[in-house]
Amino acid sequence: MMQRTAVYPGSFDPVTRGHLDIIQRASRLFDRVIVAAAENPAKQFTFSVSERLRMLEQSVRGLPGVEVDAMGGLIVDYLKAKNAYILIRGLRAVSDLDYEFQMASINRRLYPKVETVFLMPDERYTYLSSSIVKTVARFGAQVDELVPPPACRALARRFRGGRAENSRARRKR
Ligand code: ADP
Domain map (residue ranges) of the chain: 5-125
| pTM recorded for the entire structure | 0.91
Ligand 1 pocket test, candidate residues 12, 22, 123, most atoms within 8 A of CB: 22
CATH entry 3.90.480.20 includes domain 5-125:
no
Q: What is the pLDDT of residue 48?
A: 96
Q: What percent of the chain has pLDDT above 90?
A: 85
* Pocket of ligand 1 contains residue 46 by CB under 6 Å: no
Tell me the angle at which helices 49-60 and 149-172 cross, rounded to the nearest 10 degrees.
130
Q: Which residues are identified as catalytic?
A: 19, 43, 92, 130
pLDDT in tens, 1-52: 679 999 999 999 999 999 999 999 999 999 999 999 999 888 899 999 999 9
pLDDT (average), residues 70-78: 97
**What is the number of alpha carbons within 13 Å of residue 86 lying toward its C-beta?**
17
CB-based contacts of 116, cutoff 8 Å, min separation 6: 87, 88, 89, 100, 103, 104, 107, 108
**Please, which pLDDT band fits residue 169 given cuts at 50, 70 and 90?**
very low
- What SS3 state is found at 10? strand
pLDDT at 167 exceeding the cut of 60: no
The protein residue whose alpha carbon is closest to atom 22 in ligand 1 is: 18
The protein residue whose alpha carbon is closest to atom 26 in ligand 1 is: 90
Average pLDDT score over the chain:
92
